[in-house]
Every structure is written in structure tokens, then in C-alpha cells.
Structure 1
Amino acid sequence: MTFVQLIDCRTSRLDEMNRLMDAWVEATRGKRTATHALVGKDRSDAAHVIEIVEFPSYEEAMRNSNLPETDKIFREMVALCDEMPTFTDLDVVRDEQLNLLAARAFFAAMGSMEPDRIGEHVTDDYVDHDPSYPHPVQGVAAVRDQYAGWRAAFDFGFRVDDQIAQDDRVCTRWMWLGRHKGEYLGIPASGQEVSMEGTTWQRFRDGRICEGWWSYDRAGLMEQLGVLGE
């Protein structure tokens, strides 16, 4: 179970605290078990600082605490504080990256969703960067036409294999599985079962996708359709 420790302190020496954190990161390289560290400053009280440190588990956090480097840095951190810091230990019981969930819902809907409903997932000013097109596709109407073209040529669905989220972006590694049922780039319907691997970066705004960057094995698809030689 993911474990988070909150370190609540008061200090007027935040710059020195940050340099101390940099020193700890360098000193524990290859040893530390912490996976994410975040420092926040109270907007209404500049001397009030909270550090949030994430670990894979409580046991890993204890192993990290027992490092000599951690003990040394802690003593130096206390010296920079106006009073003794307080610690809150939390077992994480819910952790949801909401944009990641929205991206997963988008891929789950592709292949069965009617083209008119694509606007539920993307913004009106959405921009799509797809290597199959010479220029970015802009606007929900243009993306709807693009999606309708794929739907006319293939019965398909996406299998999500991996996802990561950072800030307002989500990266999804996927497998596209389809059946060639209609004309595609001048190739008549063949009934051929086809597949493609790909990766998509998506940028979110207000819970919907506003920009996407696609990368996929189009040459492999054409080879499966008999256009390219072995």
C-alpha cells in the first residue's frame, strides 16, 4: 500500500531548506526508497511549509528513514526550522489521476462510439497531431470526420497496455485491434484481421482532451493489408 508522510514545519529559510533537499537527493542516489517529494508553502503564511513525501509502502519509508544520509539531513532541517516539525503518516486509501481515467474512458469508447459523440471527450478547439496527416487536424468537427473515416474502414477497438500522467498530460501505450471492412487509402475491404501498436500523448483542459500527439506503426498496418512487401 502506498505510504505518504507529511512534514509540517515553520521556517523563514526556505531557500536553504530547498538546497538541503537537493543535497539529500544527491546523497541518497541509488539508496533512497522515496518516489515523489513535493514542498508547498502556505499562501496565507509564508513561514508555514509542508513537505509531502511518497513511498511504495510503510516498510520502504522506514528503510529510507534508517539511511544515515536521511538522519543527517533531518538534523540539519530541524536547525533551519523555527520549531520542531510535526509528522503525519498516511496509508493511501484512494489515489486517482482524473485525467488518466478520462484518457482510459476515451480509448474504451473508441470503436463503439458514434462519431457525433466524440465531442464528449475533446474540446471544441481540439488539435490532433497524427503522422498520417500532413497538417494538424483542428476542431471537433474535423476530428469527427477523421474518426468517422476510420470507423468506415475498420471495426476496431483499443487495448490499453500502459499509462502515465503528469501535470495536464497523459501518455497511453495501446494496442489497436481491427478488421478491415471498408476502403482504406484506396485498398478495398479485405476482411483481414489487423493490429497496430502505438502511443498517444494527450493534453487536458477542464477534464477534456484539448490536444493529442499520436505515434503508431502505420507501415505495419499497410504490410498486413498486403500493400508493402515482407
Structure 2
Amino acid sequence: MTFVQLIDCRTSRFDEMNRLMDSWVEQTKGKRTATHNIIGKDRSDAAHFIEIVEFPSYEEAMRNSNLPETDRIFQEMVALCDEMPTFTDLDVVRDEQLYAATARRFFEALATKGELPPLNDVLVEDYHDHDPSNPQDTIGMDAMRREVGMWRGAFDFSFTVEDQIAQGDRVCTRWSWNATHKGDFLGIPATGKKVSMTGATIHRCTADGKIAEGWWQYDRLGLMSQLGALEDLER
């Protein structure tokens, strides 16, 4: 179970503490077990800081605490604090990757049966879409709905999310796409063929959790081959 430790402290010497933390990171390289570290400053009290440290488990956190470098740095950190810091140990019982969840909702919305959902709950109004298969980027909600409408008019399809990696305001989703060709697609009449593609999309999200920008990579050439569009070229 993921374990998180909150360290609540007051200091007027944060710059020195920051350098101390850099020193600890360097000294424990290859040995520390922490996977994520965040330090936040209280907006209403410039001397109040909270550090959030994440570990894979409580046991890994204890192994990290037992490092001689950790004990030494802790003593130096206490000396920089205006008062004794307090510690809160937390077992993580729920962990939502909100941006990743938004990306999943986006793919689900694209494949919704019937009328296309508004998309304004997942995309910003001036959403910017980068698709190397298009001569120009798609910019704005209306343009994006037209682009999606073209695909939905040509195929009945679904997405399967295979992997997701979230970092900062970016989410990378590796997906597979399965479809039935039911209508005109780039001049190719409906064939009724079952087709599939794999690809990956990187989304940039805003602070309120909506998607502001997207970059696509997918096997469009493979799709065209499945539709028979390359047969004449191969002869």
C-alpha cells in the first residue's frame, strides 16, 4: 500500500533548507526509496511549509528513514526550523490521477454511440489538436467536433486504453482502436470491413482538469491498407 508522510514545519531560512534537501538527494542517490516529493508554502504564512513525501509502502519509508544520510539531514533540518516539525503518517486509501481520468473520459466520449457529447466537460473552448495526418492543426471546440464527426461518420469504433503515464500537466495514453467501416472516409466508400489501429496521444491539461492540447501518433497507413486503399499502388 502506498505510504505518504506529511512534514509540517515553520522556518525563516527556507533557502538554506532547500539547499539541504538538494544535498540529501545527492547523498542518497541510488539508496533512497521515496518516489515523489512536494514542498508547499502556505499562502497566508510565508514561514509555514508542508513537505509531502510518497513511498511505495510503509516498510520502504522506514528503510529510507534508517539511512544514515537521512538521520543526519533531519538533524540539520530541525536546526533550521523555528520550532520542532510535526509528522503525519498516512496510508493511501484512494489515489485518483485526475488528468488521466479526464483523458479516459475524452476517449470514451469520442466513441459514444448516438449523438456526440458536447465535449465541453473535457476540452477547453480553444482546444488545440495536433494530428500529423492533417495539413493544418485543429483549433477550437467547433473545429474539433467537426474533425471527430468525420471519423464518427466513417466508422463505428471503440477505444481501449492500454497504458497511461501522467506527469505534471501531461498525460500520455497508449490506446488501441477497433472499428467497422460504415461510411465514406477520405473518398473511400463504406466497405463494412473490420479494421484496427494502435496509437498514442499526449494531452496537456489545465489546472481545472480540462484538456487544452493534444498530440496524436497512430498507424494511419496501416488503416488505409486495411481499407484496400493501397492495393492499386502495390500492383
TM-score by length of 1: 0.91
Partner of 1:102: 102
Are residue 89 (structure 1) and residue 89 (structure 2) matched?
A: yes
TM-score by length of 2: 0.89
Q: Which runs of 5+ in 1 are unaligned?
A: none
2:198 counterpart letter in structure 1: E
Which range moves more in the overlay, 158-167 or 142-151?
Answer: 158-167
Partner of 2:211: 209
Q: Is the 8 A contact 2:109 2:116 kept in 1?
A: no
Are residue 136 (structure 1) and residue 137 (structure 2) matched?
A: yes
State how far apart, in whole Å, the 1-side matches of 2:18 and 2:76 are: 12
Cα gap change, 1:85/1:160 in structure 2, threshold over 3 Å: closer, same or farther?
same
Cα gap change, 1:120/1:89 in structure 2, threshold over 3 Å: closer, same or farther?
closer
State how far apart, in whole Å, the 1-side matches of 2:128 and 2:96 are: 26
2:39 counterpart letter in structure 1: V
Question: In the TM superposition, what is the alpha-carbon distance from 1:116 to its structure 2 partner?
Answer: 5.6
Q: Is the 8 A contact 1:4 1:90 kept in 2?
A: yes
State how far apart, in whole Å, the 1-side matches of 2:123 and 2:25 are: 39
State how far apart, in whole Å, the 1-side matches of 2:119 and 2:53 are: 38
Q: Is the 8 A contact 1:108 1:158 kept in 2?
A: yes
Are residue 77 (structure 1) and residue 97 (structure 2) matched?
A: no
Partner of 2:67: 67
Partner of 1:191: 192
Q: 1:218 aligns with which of 208, 220, 224?
A: 220
Q: Is the 8 A contact 1:115 1:145 kept in 2?
A: no
* Cα distance per residue 1:121-176 (max 9 Å; x no partner): 32322221111111111122211111111111111110011123333332211111
Question: In the TM superposition, what is the alpha-carbon distance from 1:186 to its structure 2 partner?
Answer: 2.0
Partner of 1:45: 45
Which range moves more in the overlay, 65-74 or 205-214?
Answer: 205-214
Which range moves more in the overlay, 190-199 or 152-161?
Answer: 190-199
Cα gap change, 1:43/1:129 in structure 2, threshold over 3 Å: closer, same or farther?
same
Partner of 1:148: 149
| RMSD of aligned residue pairs (Cα, Å) | 2.0
State how far apart, in whole Å, the 2-side matches of 1:207 and 1:12 are: 34
Cα gap change, 1:79/1:215 in structure 2, threshold over 3 Å: closer, same or farther?
same
Partner of 1:177: 178
Say how many residue pairs are matched. Answer: 230
Percent identity, aligned pairs only? 69
State how far apart, in whole Å, the 2-side matches of 1:226 and 1:75 are: 70
Cα gap change, 1:45/1:118 in structure 2, threshold over 3 Å: closer, same or farther?
closer
* Cα distance per residue 1:183-215 (max 9 Å; x no partner): 222223222222211111222333432221111
Question: In the TM superposition, what is the alpha-carbon distance from 1:120 to its structure 2 partner?
Answer: 4.0
Q: Which runs of 5+ in 2 are unaligned?
A: none
State how far apart, in whole Å, the 1-side matches of 2:187 and 2:93 are: 52
Q: Is the 8 A contact 2:110 2:116 kept in 1?
A: no
State how far apart, in whole Å, the 2-side matches of 1:147 and 1:45 are: 48
SS in structure 1 of the partner of residue 118 of structure 2: helix
SS in structure 2 of the partner of residue 89 of structure 1: strand
